[in-house]
Amino acid sequence: MIGQLLSKGAVPVGVVGIILLLIVPIPVGLLDLLIVTNIAFALLILLTAMFVKKPLDFSVFPSLLLVATLFRLGLNVASTRLVLSEAHAGQVIQAFGQITISGSLVIGFVIFLILAVIQFVVVTKGAERVAEVGARFTLDAMPGKQMAIDADLNAGLITDEQARARRAEVAAEADFYGAMDGASKFVKGDAIAGIVILVINFVGGIIIGMTMHGMAIDKALETYSLLTIGDGLVTQIPALLMAVSTGMIVTRENAEAELGRAAGRQLLQSRTALLITAMAAIAMGLIPGMPFLAFLAIGAALLFAASRVKANTDRAAADVADAEARERAEAAATEGPDDLMDTMRVHALEISLAPDIVDLAAGGAGDLLSRVKSLRRKVALELGTLMPPVRTRDNVGLPAETYAILVAGIEVGRGVVPRGHVLAIGAGLQHLPGTAVVDPVFGLDGKWVPTEMSHAADMAGATVIDRVSVIITHLSDIVHAHAHRLLSLEDVRQLTDHLKQTQPSVVEELTPALLPLALVQRVLASLLAERVPINDLGRIYESLALRAKSTTEVPALVEAARAALGPAISARFAQDGRLRVVMFDTLLEQQMLEGLRHVEGRAQIVLNADQTMQLMEGVRRVIADIDPVGGEPVLVCAPSLRQGVRALLAGQVAGMPILSYDEAAAGGFATDVVGVVRPVQAALPSS
């Protein structure tokens, strides 16, 4: 309890004490204690900045920087008061001054000026510039990071809680770098104030010593020079430590280890670099006049480090080779008829990988297989269907760094994921090295950039996606597009058995009394083909049970299920309480009603060739003129025409949902008409 009270009250009491330093004189002994505290505090902040793994782990740094700056200014005022009034400012300042001067006033001043130049011109200016650039790049990259989070969420790679946590981290990072940009100005101002106070102490001290204390000019010069240099050092050294801490914090990236371990691991990763440096050091030692033993010692140390790097690399390669040999031996020993049968079987969903990228499915928390598990859960929540297990295998027939996605043994998607690269999507990538591509899912321009350039791409405002996320996003898009093909009879049986546990009467009413399970599967697949989720399976079965008493034709059953799901269907395409719709011209819709025919339970719209071409051209033009901003538009028509329109315009509406008037109105949303389809004379091809 006492510790909590002290921790809560330490900062406010400390700030009040700093304000008192500016006003109330303090004794010499207390000044010594505060100066030592200031130096220790600055050193603690520097070491903490070195050991944090990412800047946000030390998010209180900007506030501490302000408090430390105010503390040093208070000490400057207190020490200046004692220097000018008593010609003495404690043992710490006296000791720093004597050590620096070392019997020569000129040498002492030169050393102090060098420290001041290093602190102000080099460290402080550099930290200020880095903080300013970091803040600007972080703010510019926020939209891209938010898009990356949304892409991972849509691909099922992260949960809603993880997405919220990552969005909060992005906002906190922007706030942190914005605060650091402002806090760096305090460091610069503190350096300028220290130099001004130095001049005041020196000039004012000599004048006061001669006029008020009756000192001779040489005595006054010696006394106040020592005090001025000592006072400047005890404030400039902590200021230098704080400036270095500022630069270290703003130049750190998120890492898996603190600065010392990360630097050691990365500096010792290249054996060739170590060997060349060692040879260069030994060669420089052979130059006449050079201390050969010193260069030889450094070169020997670098050669030893290079030998250790080679030994570690060889050992790691041997371990990998042994593990692969054991896996091949176990596979050859255990391969039996069942394994061969499994190899022959056509899987519902499969990912083929080129041999050089099989490591993506090698295991681990972030590999391809674990991401697929997350995607299965996301698909179940969004579509209400069970995504089949995904078989992952290598395929020597694929080009290098290529993957292929197969549905029922047929390739439906392919892409390239270069090793050592990440996909950056967005503008401003012209200055980055890499291969320009078009994203296979969203059709956006992107570039495969080297992994080490991912931070630069992020700072440029691009959305950076790793190789596994690219494959998972592509797989998610294919699963949604082919959900009706992936829904098997066994899946429907499992869904029905699960529903029977909570709504047994609904299941018993429908199947097998009215509809066989195979017919139910066809209805559910038809709904998925039109991007209608089947999550509300109980309501779907209720509507099918009612409709099946009069007909068992699949089109009629599908329309009955859609009528029951009307509010949910329209809600999927509404945005901010409004639904963007495209309608048919009244005369055109009447013309289609006149051409409506029912063949084997399916609605068909029969028009002559000219009317069909004019209708399709009108649809194409309306779709091309729609503003993509504001939500996905839907095409609406009379309920009796909906199935016929879908069949007639297959492939012409680019996946645009087709709803009946009843479905569009079921959700109670306000509608915005963004286009009206009218017959348009199609341009004839030139001969």
Whether 31 and 58 map to the same domain: the answer is yes
Rounded to whole angstroms, how far apart are CA atoms 686 and 658? 33
- CATH number at 502 reads 1.10.8.540
- Please tell me whether the overall predicted TM-score, pTM, comes out greater than 0.75 for this model: no
Among 433, 465, 481, the domain-final residue is: 481
The per-residue pLDDT for range 312-328, each reduced to its tens digit, is: 666 666 666 666 666 66
Note whether residue 158 is domain-resident: no
Determine the structural domain holding residue 114 and report its residue range. Answer: 2-131+185-265
Give the integer Cα–Cα distance in Å for 511 and 16.
79
Statement to judge: residues 574 and 560 lie in one domain: no
Report pLDDT for 582: 92
Q: Do 65 and 196 share a domain, yes or no?
A: yes
Q: Are residues 251 and 305 in the same domain?
A: no
Question: Does residue 147 belong to any structural domain of this protein?
Answer: no
The C-alpha atoms of residue 176 and residue 157 are separated, in whole angstroms, by 27
Can you tell me the distance from the alpha carbon of 284 to that of 272, in angstroms, rounded to the nearest whole number? 18
Distance of CA 159 to the CA centre of its chain: 14
Q: Flag whether 175 is in a domain.
A: no
Low pLDDT (below 50) residues in the chain: 1-7, 364-365, 684-687
The CA distance from 560 to 532, in Å, is 13
The enclosing domain of 475 has a CATH number of: 3.40.30.60
Answer yes or no: is 433 within a domain. yes
- Kind plus residue range of the DSSP H or E element containing 325: helix 292-334
Q: Using omega within 30 degrees of 0 as the cis cutoff, is the peptide bond preceding 440 cis?
A: no
Best CA proximity match to 680, nearest among 623, 641, 605, 606:
623
Calculated CA dihedral for residues 552, 553, 558, 564, nearest 10 degrees: -40
Would 397 be classed as within a structural domain? yes
**How far is CA 386 from each of CA 371, 390, 500, 501, rounded to the nearest angstrom?**
16, 12, 17, 17
Query: 648 and 670, same structural domain?
Result: yes
Q: Tell me, yes or no, whether 223 and 88 share the same domain.
A: yes
Residues 362 and 452 grouped into a single domain: yes
Residue 5 pLDDT: 42
Q: Is residue 384 part of a domain?
A: yes
Are both 654 and 637 inside the same structural domain? yes
Contact 547, 560 (CB under 8 A): yes
Instruction: Give domain status of residue 335, yes or no.
Output: no
> Are both 248 and 277 inside the same structural domain?
no
Q: What pLDDT sits at residue 687? A: 40
Q: Is residue 165 part of a domain?
A: no
Tally of structural domains, the chain? 5
The torsion defined by the Cα of 57, 58, 59 and 60, in degrees rounded to 10, comes to: 150
What is the pLDDT, as a whole number, of residue 297?
A: 83
Burial of 449 (0-12, 13-18, 19+ CB in 10 A): buried
Whether residues 558 and 655 share a domain: the answer is no
Do residues 453 and 310 both lie within one domain?
no
Last residue of a domain, one of 281, 301, 318: 318
Q: How far apart are CA 163 and CA 508, in angstroms?
A: 41
Can you tell me the distance from the alpha carbon of 196 to that of 120, in angstroms, rounded to the nearest whole number? 13
Indicate the burial class of 196 (C-beta count within 10 angstroms; 0-12, 13-18, 19 or more): exposed
CA 575 from chain centre, in angstroms, equals 26
**H/E run at residue 675:** strand 670-677
Pairing of strands 445-450, 596-599: unpaired
> Which pairing describes strands 445-450 and 435-438: parallel, antiparallel, or unpaired?
antiparallel
Q: State which H helix or E strand residue 536 sits in.
A: none
> Among residues 458, 481, 504, which one ends one of the domains?
481
Residues 558 and 627 in one domain: no
User: Side chain identity at 389, as an amino acid letter?
Assistant: P
CATH label of the domain that carries residue 643: 3.40.50.12790
| Side-chain-side CA neighbours of residue 184 (13 Å) | 26
